[in-house]
Amino acid sequence: MNRLTKQLLCTGLISMVLWGCGSSAEYTTAKMAIKEENWEKAEEYLIKALEVEPENAEVMVQIGYHVHAKKREWTKMNALFDRAVNTDPAAKMNNRPISEIVKNYRAMFWAESYNNAVRKYNEFKGSSDKSTLQEAIDLFNQTVEIDPSEGQTYAILANCYYELGDSERAITSGKKASELMPNEFQPNMTLGQILSFSGNKEEAIGYIKKAVEIDPTSSNAIRTLATLYYDLGEKEKSVETFEAAIKAETDKKLKANLYFNLGVLNMQLDNFQAAEDSFLDAYDLNPDDTEALVGIAQTFENAEKWRRASKFYRELIVLEPENPEHYKGMARVLIKQGDPEGATRYFQRAKKLGG
């Protein structure tokens, strides 16, 4: 019995030596507390362990994970993670490089926070409740704090701030996303749109051009670029870009809108035949859209192309015989063509229809 007792005591001693091998008593106690999920004791002895082992990278990681992350003290967590990697780059924990473990921990916490923020943002999209949007912004800012190097967070945060009405912060977040992901389509596209909507079209055009370079098949980006050129008075470039957008677009209605915009541009450049061809292409693609015909008729009227305008007003009257605006348009054109009697008949018809 005595011999057996001695053997058991010896075995226990060996186990304690192995458990504590290379570790201070404080760190050994901390690890036991972690195993028992006694977090208050674990925190106490991890802090003490770092005091007696200030160069132990593993202890730093344990404090970052089991203390600061649990308290959502993300800045403190990152400070210790970075300190661990910088203190002992070759250090391993559970036979894995500490740099890899730190990266995985950050990614795990970032993903959890990011997904929570996205869910909250989608909740706002369904309700339009600005208080919910603010909650989403707070969660995205927490996500940024967890991993400031992740550009994806800044990109969606830029959208959040813009929808909140804070253009300044939206632009700041958008630029940060673009800096971190300069060769990604979405950050450049998002920032360009926000700048454009905020009135800074000259700066916006650079980011939209970059987005088009990254994805030349994106008809949305090309349309946006063409519109920016138009707004900045660069009509020739706008025409070229609309033509490129038409080639890239597959949706018939969107393609019809592009043809219509191209027609308007060609009218302004006195390219009347090209304008008419574009308008007709727009109508052929979307014959149910009488607004396209109205735009065509009005465009020719404004350009003082009376006969062409009358052709489309007549077609509109056939399609919508109860709409007084078409008759009034026809009357205006007939006056310009020197036919006051015909104009009077159309004006009277418009009055009978309530126009």
Residue 331: band (very low, low, confident or very high) from pLDDT cuts 50, 70, 90: very high
The architecture of the domain spanning 26-149 is Alpha Horseshoe (1.25)
Mean predicted confidence (pLDDT) in 95-124: 96
What is the DSSP annotation of 207-237?
HHHHHHHH-TT-HHHHHHHHHHHHHTT-HHH
Q: What mean pLDDT is predicted for residues 177-199?
A: 96
Q: Name the pLDDT band for 2 (thresholds 50, 70, 90).
A: very low
- Assign 18 a pLDDT band (cuts: 50, 70, 90): very low
Q: What is the pLDDT of residue 13?
A: 32
b/e sequence 55-79, b meaning 16+ C-beta within 10 Å = ebbbbbbbbbbbbbbeeeebeebbe
**pLDDT at 19 exceeding the cut of 80:** no
The pLDDT tens digits of the residues spanning 290-302 come to 887 888 898 888 8
Q: What is the pLDDT of residue 229?
A: 93
Nearest to 160 by CA among 196, 203, 192, 190: 190
- State the pLDDT confidence band at 135, using cuts at 50, 70 and 90: very high
Q: Are 205 and 192 in contact (CB under 8 A)?
A: yes
Average pLDDT over residues 181-188: 96
The predicted pLDDT at position 275 comes to 84
* Predicted model pTM: 0.72
- What per-residue confidence (pLDDT) applies to 296? 84
Rounded to an integer, the average pLDDT of 245-271 is 86
Residues of the chain with CATH 1.25.40.10: 289-355
Q: How far apart are CA 142 and CA 11, in angstroms?
A: 48
**pLDDT-based confidence at residue 47 (cuts at 50, 70, 90):** very high
What is the arithmetic mean of pLDDT over 73-89?
A: 95
Contact 267, 299 (CB under 8 A): yes
329-335 contact pairs (CB < 8 A, 24+): 329/297, 329/298, 329/301, 332/301, 333/301, 333/306, 333/309, 334/310
**Cβ neighbours around 45 below 10 Å, total:** 22
Say if residue 354's pLDDT is above 90: no
Percent pLDDT > 70 in the chain is 94
Which pLDDT score, from 0 to 100, does residue 5 have?
A: 36
Instruction: Please give the structure tokens belonging to residue 173.
Output: 């977040």
pLDDT for 334 beyond 90: yes
Sign of CA dihedral 117, 119, 120, 121: positive
Distance, in Å, from the CA atom of 66 to the CA atom of 10, rounded to the nearest integer, reads 33
Q: Residue range 245-256: average pLDDT?
A: 88
Residue 92's DSSP bridge partners are: 97
Measured in residues, the chain has a length of 355
Give the range with max mean pLDDT: 179-188, 223-232, 304-313: 179-188
Which residue, chain included where needed, has tokens 């923020």?
117
In 3D space, the residue among 148, 177, 146 whose CA is nearest the CA of residue 161 turns out to be 177
pLDDT given for residue 1 in this prediction: 33
Average pLDDT over residues 52-77: 96
pLDDT for the residue 16:
33
Rg of the Cα atoms in the chain: 34
Flag whether pLDDT at 84 surpasses 50.
Answer: yes
The first and second tokens of residue 103, run together, are: 């990266």
Q: What is the mean pLDDT of the chain?
A: 89
- pLDDT band at residue 7 using 50, 70 and 90 as cut-offs: very low
Mean pLDDT score, 23-51:
95
For range 213-220, the mean pLDDT: 88
Q: Is the pLDDT of residue 168 over 90?
A: yes
Give CA–CA dist 115/159, Å, rounded. Answer: 16
Helix (H) or strand (E) holding 97: strand 96-97
Q: Helix axis angle, 98-127 relative to 74-87, nearest 10°?
A: 160
pLDDT at 22: 52
pLDDT band at 64 (very low <50, low <70, confident <90, very high): very high
User: What's the Cα-to-Cα distance from 346 to each of 316, 322, 338, rounded to whole Å?
Assistant: 13, 12, 14
Query: CATH number for the 289-355 domain, one of 4.10.320.10, 3.20.20.370, 1.10.10.10, 1.25.40.10?
Result: 1.25.40.10
